[in-house]
Amino acid sequence: MKIIVLAGGEGKRMWPIQTDKCLIPFLGKPLLYHNLKQIKFHLEGVKAHLPGELDSFVIVVSPQIKEEVSKIAQSLDLNFQIAVQNEPKGMADAILSAKELIEGEILIINAEDILDVSAFKGNFEGDVLLTGLKVDKYFPGGYIKATGNSVQAIVEKPEEGNEPSDLVKLVVDYFKDGKKLVEYLEKVEDPERSRRDDVYEKALGRMISDGLDVKFSKYEGTWIPLKYPWHILDITAYFLSQITTKDKIVIEEGAKVFEGAVIKGPCYIGKNCIVGNNSFVRESDLEEGCVTGFNSDITRSYVGANSWFHTNYVGDSVVEGDFGMGSGAILANLRLDGKTIGDTERHKLGLIAGKGVRIGVNASTMPGVKIGSNSLVGPGVVLHEDVKENTKILVKQEYQTSEHAPVLISYDQFRDKLEKL
């Protein structure tokens, strides 16, 4: 069996985060590293559940991350091959980019989805085995329509209220014959392939209508997709929950924690970080080289590498890295009217910032604001709206000046005055 790992795509919904989703680091390692490691070791441990031998990984990537993904796979000593998807044209195109490497039994997975190992323990049977997760509220994805465990149709992104079932289709798809999947994908008319993003689902529909045995396995474990930037907080919380030390804290080599600082687990402090005097870090991931200067509070946040703070509050925020805050700046994370923030369904969400953002002294950002990379929010600004890349936001001030003739009193005079009150 070959494991086809889909690590290409464009991630348009992740703005202002620019790092490829599968390369975002958590606890010091790229997300792809964590997922490949789990798949490798757990699939090797459950070979009894597999219909054939685990031969190799085929990782489909965009051109710009090919070398970095190769290094990750090499570090895990994987037997792997790389296929390049030159343009982000959807899942079907990604699979077809690897068609020369596809043969025999295959298992297709997403590179960024967080799943328990139980997702890979299905009883692989029939021509195709899909994986469904029961949901209790609407999710804008594909749904499985089934009778028993036989799939009757895949309904892609139905309108809310028109879902054919409560089973959302995950990307954990087994095919007994990978070449047959390629044939069905290529049967979809070429103009249609270039225009639509549901070609894969249409190919599955044709398999079903042609009488292939398409079944589904019900999955009941953890599933955390990475589709929007605030999902980084969910994934951070997941990886922090996996820390097994007694105090649920990891402090990497070269990190320094100064007097009066408090670190409350679960927490990750990356290599060469500094947690300054009287700082409070809780339930957060600080990647390599971060500095939390005096009296800063970082709470339930993801902080990318080489970010620095000084007398700041950072709550429920995502900063991609190389981020700086002047003294007294605040990242607000809660609406006082108690409403959820935007379309995130979250009651607490602070700033989401791309790389290279700077926040000036005594500035503040309102809940859920996004700032594009290399932008600057000047001193004293109260930011209520998103800011695009390479933008400077400053407050325009006007001064009123007049003569001032102070009546100065000494400390003794001041004390005498107080005693007479």
* Complete edge-to-edge strand list for the sheet that includes strand 267-269: 249-251, 267-269, 285-286, 302-303, 318-319, 352-353, 370-371
Does position 109 have pLDDT exceeding 90, yes or no? yes
Is the pLDDT score of 336 beyond 80?
yes
Q: Reply yes or no on whether the pLDDT at 350 is more than 90.
A: yes
pLDDT, average across residues 239-248? 96
In the chain, what percentage of residues exceed pLDDT 70?
94
Domains of the chain: 2-224 (3.90.550.10), 231-393 (2.160.10.10)
pLDDT band at 52 (very low <50, low <70, confident <90, very high): low
Highest mean pLDDT among 120-134, 358-372, 389-403: 358-372
> Average pLDDT in the 300-328 region?
97
Q: What is the pLDDT of residue 160?
A: 87
pLDDT > 50? residue 193: no
Q: Mean per-residue pLDDT for 156-182? A: 92
| pLDDT value, residue 44 | 63
Arithmetic mean of pLDDT, 27-54:
76
In angstroms, the CA 147 to CA 326 distance is 59
Residue for token pair 């967080």:
114
pTM: 0.91
Residue 189 has pLDDT above 90, yes or no: no
Give the model's pLDDT for residue 47: 55
| Average pLDDT value for residue range 41-70 | 77
Residue for token pair 């474990």: 221
What's the whole-number mean pLDDT along residues 254-265? 97
The pLDDT of 6-20, averaged and rounded, is 91
Position 181 scores a pLDDT of 96
Q: How far is CA 111 from the centre of its chain?
A: 11
Give the pLDDT band (50/70/90) at residue 383: very high
Q: Which pLDDT value is given to residue 385?
A: 97
Q: What is the pLDDT of residue 157?
A: 84
